[in-house]
C-alpha cells in the first residue's frame, strides 16, 4: 500500500515541476526556434527528408490502458511482458490485456525528477536460469523509499556548486539482476551488479551487457545546462557519469574492454561523453550498439558506439543552454578527439526507447530504426543506408502522446508505452 500512495505524490510533483518550468519567474527557458539551427558536420546529419514511399496503413490497438507511469518493457520467452513503472513497480502483462499485481521483491526505489525504476531486460538464457536485469534509483543509506519533491531536488541539486554536488548523496543508480520465480510473482536472489548507471540495458551479440548512464548533474554549476563545467576534471573517467559501460552478465569485466588496466579509468567504461542516453539498441546488420541521447535545448543525438570513444558532452553539443546561450561558452559542435553523431535533432524530440525492426509483419519497415519521441509526441521512423539516416517519418502524431518505449514483439507487431499509461500494439491494416 505504501508504494501505491507514491503515485498521487509523484503526479503532484510532476505538475509542480511543469508549473515551475513554465513560470515567468524562471524566465530562462528559451525557444530553440528563435536561434539559427547548428550547421551539420556532413550532409544528412539532420533534417532527413520524408521517405519516398509512405508507410503502410496500420492499426493502433490499446492492449492495456492503465499502467502507472510506465518506463520499459521486455518480452519473456513465453510471450508475456515485464513492464516497469516509475513508482517502483514491475508487472507481468500479456498480449490479451492482463496485467499482474506488482511483482514482489523489487528493491526500494527513490522517485525524483528523471530517476526511478527504469529498464528491464531478459537474460538470453532465461529458459534455463530465469534471470532478469533491471536499472533503478535507490535511496541512500538510512533514507526511506518514496517520492522526493521535485522542488526540493532542484533546490538542493541545481543550486549546489560542482564540488558540493559531487559529495551529495541524493541516491544510488544501480544495475541489478534477479531470478523471476516460476509463478512470476516475485524476484529472488536480487544482486546489485553495478552502482552508477541506471538507464538502458542492451545485450551484445556475444551475450555481454551494455548499460547506459546519464551525466548526473556533475560537471557544471547552475542552471545545470553545460556551463562552467570543468573541462580538465581529473575525475572525468573515475566514475560512470555519462557513460556506456560493458560488463559480463555476472558483473565481471570483459577482457577486451578499452580501458582495462588504466588506473585512472573505471575498467567497466566502454565510452564516455554522453548526456542522457535513454534509447539504445544493437543494429542487427552490423552488431554495433546505437545510442540515442537527450541534448540540452536541442541537440538530441544518435551515436554509434566505438570502444573508448569520447562523444563530447559537456564540451561539445548541437544544442544550446536552456536560456539560449552557447554550450560551454563557445557553442562548439566538434572538437578533436570527439566522435560526431550520425544524426541529430534541432529542435529536440526528447528521445526514449529505440529498436531496429526485424520482423515480417511490416516488411516495408525491415531494417528501420524506431525511436520514441516524448517532446515530439510521435513514433519516429528512420530509414537507413548503412550507417546514415536517409529519411525520417513521424508516426502517431494524432495521438498527441509522449512515447516512452518501443519494442518489437515476438509476433512481429510493434509495442509502445506512452506516458499516459497505455500499452499500444501496431499491426498492419488488412
CATH number of domain containing 356: 2.40.10
Domain that holds residue 403: 349-430
Q: What is the pLDDT of residues 50-61, one digit of tens each?
A: 999 889 999 999
Tell me the pairing of strands 369-373 and 378-385. Answer: antiparallel
pLDDT-above-70 percentage for the chain = 81
> How many CB atoms are located within 10 Å of the residue 330 CB?
10
Mean pLDDT of 95-121: 91
In a domain, 335, yes or no: no
Q: Answer whether residue 39 is part of any domain.
A: no
Other C-beta atoms lying within 10 Å of the C-beta of residue 380: 22
Residue 178 belongs to a domain: no
Matching residue, cell 536499472: 135
At residue 201, does pLDDT exceed 80? yes
Contacts of 16 (CB under 8 A, 6+ apart): 149, 150, 151
Report the Cα–Cα distance between both ends of the chain, in Å, rounded: 45
DSSP string, 101-124: SPPBTPPP-EEBTTBSS--EEE-T
Q: What are phi and psi of 328, to 5 degrees?
A: 60, 15
pLDDT at 372: 98
Q: What is the pLDDT of residue 198?
A: 86
Give the other-Cβ count within 10 Å of 20's Cβ: 13
What are the grid coordinates assigned to 140, written together?
541512500
pLDDT digits (tens, 9 = 90+) for 184-197: 999 999 999 999 88
State how far the Cα of 381 lies from the Cα of 50, in Å rounded to an integer.
10
Q: Give residue-wise pLDDT tens across range 211-225.
A: 999 876 554 444 434
Q: What is the mean pLDDT of the chain?
A: 86
Q: How many CB atoms lie within 10 A of CB 56?
A: 11
Residue 365 lies in a domain: yes
The answer to whether residue 109 sits within a structural domain is no
Could you report the per-residue pLDDT of 397-422, keeping only the tens digit for each?
999 999 999 999 999 999 999 999 99
Indicate if the pLDDT at residue 430 is higher than 70. yes
Candidates 102, 116, 58, 13; CA nearest to 352 is 116
The pLDDT score that the predictor gives to residue 293 is: 96
Query: CA nearest 47: which of 380, 387, 294, 281?
Result: 380
Write down the pLDDT at residue 328: 76
Stretch 255-280: mean pLDDT: 94
What is the number of structural domains in the chain? 1
C-alpha cell at 66: 492503465
The pLDDT assigned to 302 comes to 99
Distances (CA, A) of 424 to 109, 224, 421, 427: 26, 35, 10, 10
User: Once rounded to an integer, what is the mean pLDDT over residues 36-48?
Assistant: 97
Q: Assess if residue 428 is contained within a domain.
A: yes
Q: Is residue 388 part of a domain?
A: yes
Tell me, yes or no, whether 379 lies in a domain. yes
Q: Please tell me whether residue 19 adopts helix, strand or coil conformation.
A: helix
pLDDT at 15 over 60: no
pLDDT for residue 220: 45
Look up residue 139 and give its three cell numbers.
535511496
pTM, entire model:
0.89
Q: What is the pLDDT of residue 237?
A: 65
Other Cβ atoms less than 10 A from the Cβ of 218: the count is 20
pLDDT at 159 over 70: no
Amino acid at each position: 500500500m505504501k508504494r501505491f500512495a507514491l503515485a498521487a505524490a509523484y503526479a503532484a510533483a510532476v505538475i509542480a515541476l511543469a508549473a515551475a518550468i513554465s513560470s515567468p519567474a524562471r524566465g530562462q527557458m528559451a525557444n530553440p526556434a528563435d536561434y539559427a539551427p547548428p550547421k551539420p558536420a556532413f550532409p544528412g546529419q539532420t533534417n532527413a527528408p520524408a521517405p519516398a514511399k509512405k508507410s503502410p496503413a496500420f492499426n493502433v490497438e490499446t492492449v492495456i490502458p492503465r499502467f502507472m507511469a510506465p518506463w520499459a518493457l521486455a518480452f519473456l520467452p513465453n510471450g508475456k511482458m515485464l513492464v516497469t513503472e516509475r513508482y517502483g513497480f514491475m508487472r507481468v502483462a500479456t498480449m490479451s490485456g492482463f496485467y499482474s499485481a506488482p511483482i514482489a521483491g523489487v528493491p526500494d526505489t527513490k522517485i525524483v525528477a528523471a530517476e526511478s525504476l527504469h529498464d528491464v531486460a531478459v537474460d538470453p538464457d532465461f529458459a534455463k536460469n530465469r534471470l532478469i536485469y533491471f536499472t533503478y534509483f535507490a535511496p541512500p543509506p538510512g533514507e526511506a523509499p518514496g517520492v522526493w519533491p521535485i522542488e526540493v531536488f532542484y533546490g538542493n541539486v541545481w543550486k549546489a556548486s560542482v564540488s558540493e554536488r559531487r559529495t551529495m548523496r541524493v541516491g544510488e543508480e544501480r544495475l541489478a539482476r534477479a531470478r523471476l520465480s516460476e509463478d512470476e510473482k516475485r524476484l529472488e536472489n536480487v544482486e546489485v551488479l553495478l552502482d552508477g548507471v541506471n538507464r538502458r540495458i542492451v545485450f551484445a551479440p556475444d551475450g555481454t551487457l551494455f548499460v547506459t548512464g546519464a551525466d548526473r548533474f556533475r560537471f557544471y554549476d547552475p542552471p545545470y545546462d553545460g556551463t562552467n563545467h570543468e573541462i580538465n576534471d581529473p575525475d572525468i573517467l573515475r566514475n560512470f557519469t555519462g557513460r556506456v559501460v560493458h560488463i559480463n552478465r555476472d558483473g565481471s569485466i570483459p577482457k577486451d574492454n578499452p580501458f582495462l588496466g588504466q588506473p585512472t579509468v573505471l575498467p567497466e567504461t566502454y565510452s564516455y561523453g554522453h548526456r542522457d542516453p535513454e534509447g539504445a539498441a544493437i543494429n542487427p546488420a552490423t552488431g554495433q550498439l546505437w545510442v540515442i541521447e537527450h541534448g540540452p535545448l536541442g541537440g538530441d543525438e544518435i551515436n554509434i558506439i566505438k570502444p573508448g570513444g569520447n562523444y563530447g558532452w559537456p564540451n561539445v553539443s548541437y544544442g544550446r543552454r536552456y536560456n539560449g546561450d552557447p554550450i560551454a561558452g563557445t557553442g562548439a559542435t566538434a572538437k578533436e578527439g570527439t566522435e560526431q553523431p550520425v544524426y541529430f535533432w534541432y529542435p529536440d524530440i526528447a528521445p526514449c526507447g529505440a529498436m531496429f525492426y526485424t520482423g515480417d509483419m511490416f516488411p516495408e519497415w525491415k531494417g528501420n530504426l524506431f525511436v520514441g519521441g516524448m517532446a515530439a509526441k510521435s513514433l519516429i521512423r528512420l530509414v537507413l543506408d548503412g550507417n546514415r539516416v536517409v529519411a525520417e517519418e513521424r508516426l502517431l502524431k494524432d495521438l498527441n502522446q509522449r512515447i516512452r518505449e518501443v519494442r518489437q514483439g515476438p509476433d512481429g507487431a510493434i509495442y509502445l508505452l506512452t506516458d499516459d499509461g497505455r500499452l499500444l500494439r501496431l499491426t498492419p491494416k488488412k
